[in-house]
């Protein structure tokens, strides 16, 4: 075996470093291309939003009503006042929706529940003591 001089040793080292740099560059490009393809898949818009805009509506000519409803946190809430009244929030599919109106005065009461602008439940105004609208977010 013949000893290698410094120049040959240096040239072999540079040659190996070039090959390592080429292999590393190809690996980085490959990972970048695969990552970009997978990132595009994650950004594809869904056909339906994950939640919908829900709105409760109370109408009528009564001067005083008590409104009981499931609020945006799915807890029971109560209000008293004069119609019209609206309450809006976002809710996911399958969420139970309910509004109950008690007529504490004279006149009519009505209620409605919409999701993304579409009627889910509606009771026309009528001269009654209690009225209820119930729905589920589609």
Instruction: Look up the pTM and report it.
Output: 0.65
Mean local confidence (pLDDT), 51-79 = 95
CB-based contacts of 94: which residues, under 8 Å, 6+ apart? 136, 137
CA distances 13 to 3, 9, 16, 21, 77, Å, are 16, 6, 5, 12, 77
Predicted confidence at residue 95, as pLDDT, reads 95
pLDDT band at 61 (very low <50, low <70, confident <90, very high): very high
Asked which of 25-29, 36-40, 87-91, 107-111 is least confident by mean pLDDT, the reply is 36-40
- State the Cα–Cα distance between residues 37 and 109, nearest whole angstrom: 56
Quick one: pLDDT band at residue 7, thresholds 50, 70, 90?
Answer: low
Given this model, what pLDDT does residue 90 score? 96
Could you tell me the CATH superfamily of domain 51-136? MmpS1-5, C-terminal soluble domain (2.60.40.2880)
Question: What is the pLDDT of the chain when averaged over all its residues?
Answer: 85
pLDDT at position 18, please?
77
């Amino acid at each position: 075996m013949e000893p290698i001089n410094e120049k040959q040793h240096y040239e072999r080292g540079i040659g190996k470093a070039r090959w390592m740099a080429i292999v590393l560059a190809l690996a980085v490009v490959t990972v970048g291309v695969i990552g970009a393809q997978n990132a595009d898949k994650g950004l594809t818009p869904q056909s339906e939003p994950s939640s919908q805009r829900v709105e409760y509506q109370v109408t009528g000519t009564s001067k005083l009503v008590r409104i009981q409803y499931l609020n945006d946190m799915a807890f029971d809430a109560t209000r008293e006042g004069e119609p019209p009244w609206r309450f809006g929030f976002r809710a996911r599919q399958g969420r139970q929706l309910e509004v109950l109106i008690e007529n504490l005065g004279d006149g009519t009461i009505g209620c409605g529940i919409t999701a993304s602008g579409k009627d889910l439940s509606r009771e026309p105004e009528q001269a009654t003591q209690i009225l209820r609208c119930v729905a589920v977010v589609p």
